[in-house]
Structure 1
């Protein structure tokens, strides 16, 4: 099991030097690091002086590519694997719901790790958990363990993904600020998304071919690739622009309360972030189901039990994401509003998902589905930019996890409800109903546009990197 790929998921913009000074990590010179003594901070200081933004971006792209490659080898065959292991279609989605429920429950505790011990430590823990969870999946299928054991294995995978969510993006943002990078990051997001999509292209094709031989083979390959990603992260990923701090066991509850409070103060109380997390709740509720539902649905339309075809379609989905990502640089022009792109791409996504269920012809339905993937490739990098330019750096990992938390909560309901509908009615009915639900994202982005916030405006330089007073990092009050 793994997260459904969201074409365009990448990185985020940096923080202002003023915001950095508030937290004691930087001076007015973004390349200067104030440390309080020897140890980790002193080592970080030395690393800082010898790393530039190009190295940071290159490291991020390598980690993104390896991690996505390791995950994508099962994306095209995961549902088929679980059905082959004896689960019904509804049980498949219940197991997936257990995975996403674990993510929802563990987002805050694992967010504490990223915001205290460091983004690097969180990523390494993610890789270890995901490797163990992947092998557990194969073991459950081998012993015909059934739904309960699949759910338990899914919890391990959920733990891994919560360690990953937000941590790597936060590492990129802080490291870029520390090395003096002061440009808009929409294009960097798109580059990372293109790397991820290329890795997904290779991984899904390989996974489909391996699955044609044995559905368990992609899982063994995935575990090996995750361990490779662990090795690269251990060697090259260092916390620049961030000071790790020790948290004792008795202090974890306090840290969790602090993180939850930050999520409320800087998240829910901010009208822009609140709208964005509602979008995450709605759309992930559908897409986390849709990604696993198309596999048996398209094979049924094709009329043959061709596992390799699932890998091929998943790779075409990745290619469609690359096309969408490549359009971001052309569409995100200075002077335009990000909500214009969000509204247009969301309208296309909603229409194509409804049509995927309404039109039951393989050679028409699949291209329509892929058109929706192109629109998603535009939507996600732009949405990420808006989100990260609306939050303070000190709470960046926490609020990205908060956004993921809402998406996970939506996924639990979406996979359970649409999974039941799939078994009682049909998968096409799920596409129609779920696609109509995503229509609600259009008025959400319309309200976001009406706020007319600085994050909505595309400029040559990132607004956050202009010197701003400490008050600028306070949550925006909802005028309504």
Structure 2
């Protein structure tokens, strides 16, 4: 709502400043050996910072591309961003671990704070809201009320967007658990619980798949006439990958299933973003995109504890199989989105 009411730049600056403060709080908590409630408050503030980016950054990009008359389709641009994000995740994870190993656990947070400070300065002086003009002449509450109403009309009351958003809790919720459970589960499959490099391997595989998927996404796009077809196939592959990870007792089979499932999901992600952006008007774009993220996070709130309990009772393997079943629930919603035959679903070759 901040992004759609006061501007994407304002939301981005607020997010960066909040992350900077919360990261410094993390550093302070570590130095004073703070109690758990202190870390919890700092984590809540950290989460708040990310909500200012949620939807706003993507909306800023799409509006600016439209304003500048860029003829290139949205998927290649999003795919290139995905390549950079994957490379940053890979480099940051490795560099953070190396720096912490050479110094102490506080230095990576100090470096993160410095980088956030640079980001804040660059955004303040260079970032502009191109292609988006907030409404003037209304009070703050009236503008927020207008944005909320519009986001509902173009979100949950908009069938093409609604079905895609309703699928998110089942795919993203399971995906969150699958990623975080990978580290202990792969250690278990490997048979050496002191092989800590396995934990880094899981993150490296995900980051590497982000990079590779960003490179092949434009070619994958050319194989389909509809974006929902790609989403359906990627989800089926993801369900199969989760089931295979839970079924196998082989470390290398689990790694192979992980790579295939991650590649399918990451390669289809730009098409999902392009579809959703195509059915949302500019004035409500940031709010609806943020609501889509909210739906995914809500799925994580419910699904992750449930799968964690399954893992406690029956082991990680059982949790992955149950996760595959839960993720399969998203398929009917994707079929409903396909049935809407929205113009944004068509892929122009």
Structures share fold, TM-score greater than 0.5? yes
How far apart are the structure 2 equivalents of 1:453 and 1:235?
39
**The structure with more helix, counted as a fraction of residues:** 2
Seen in structure 2, the aligned counterparts of structure 1 residues 247 and 215 have a Cα distance that, compared at 3 Å, is farther
Q: TM-score, normalised by structure 1?
A: 0.67
Structure 2: unaligned runs, 5 residues or longer: none
Q: Give the whole-Å Cα distance in 1 for the aligned partners of 2:141 and 2:188.
A: 49
Aligned to 1:239: 129
Shift of 1:443: 2.0
The yes-or-no answer on 1:118 pairing with 2:10 is no
Deviates more, 1:292-301 or 1:150-159: 292-301
Equivalent residue for 1:262? 150
Map 1:452-471 → 2, pairs under 5 A: 452-460=341-349
Q: 1:335 to 1:179 in 2, by over 3 A?
A: same
Distance 1:292 1:247, change over 3 A: farther
Query: How far 1:231 sits from its partner (Å)?
Result: 2.8
After TM superposition, the structure 1 = structure 2 runs for residues 323-362 of structure 1, keeping only pairs within 5 Å, are: 323-333=212-222, 336-362=225-251
Q: Displacement of 1:162 after TM fit?
A: 0.7
Aligned to 2:159: 271
1:289 aligned to 177, 200, 205, which one?
Answer: 177
Q: CA deviation at 1:199?
A: 1.5
- Hey, what's the Cα distance between the residues in 2 that align with 1:113 and 1:367? 42
Relative to structure 1, is the Cα distance of residues 239 and 390 closer, same or farther in structure 2, using a 3 angstrom cutoff?
same
State the number of aligned residues. 347
Kept in 2, the 8 Å contact 1:133–1:154? The answer is: yes
Match of 2:111? 221
Q: Post-superposition shift, 1:227?
A: 2.4
Contact 2:183–2:198 (CA<8 Å) still a contact in 1? Answer: no
- What TM-score do the two structures reach when normalised by structure 2? 0.90
Contact kept, 8 Å, 1:345 with 1:376, in 2: the verdict is yes
Give the C-alpha shift of residue 392 in structure 1.
0.8
Which runs of 5 or more residues in structure 1 are unaligned? 1-111, 461-480
Helix, strand or coil at the partner of 1:268: coil
Give the CA deviation at 1:113. 1.6
CA distance 1:131–1:366, change in 2 (3 Å): farther
User: Which digits, 9 at most, give the CA deviation of each residue in 1:112-161, with x for residues without a partner?
Assistant: 22112211111111112122223333444555555543332221111111
RMSD: 2.5
Is the deviation greater in 286-295 or in 268-277? 286-295
Q: Partners of 1:191 and 1:324 in 2: how far apart?
A: 10
Task: Go from structure 1 to structure 2 and tell me whether the alpha carbon gap of 1:209 and 1:398 turns closer, same or farther (over 3 Å shift).
Answer: same
User: In structure 2, how many angstroms separate the alpha carbons of the residues matched to 1:221 and 1:408?
Assistant: 28
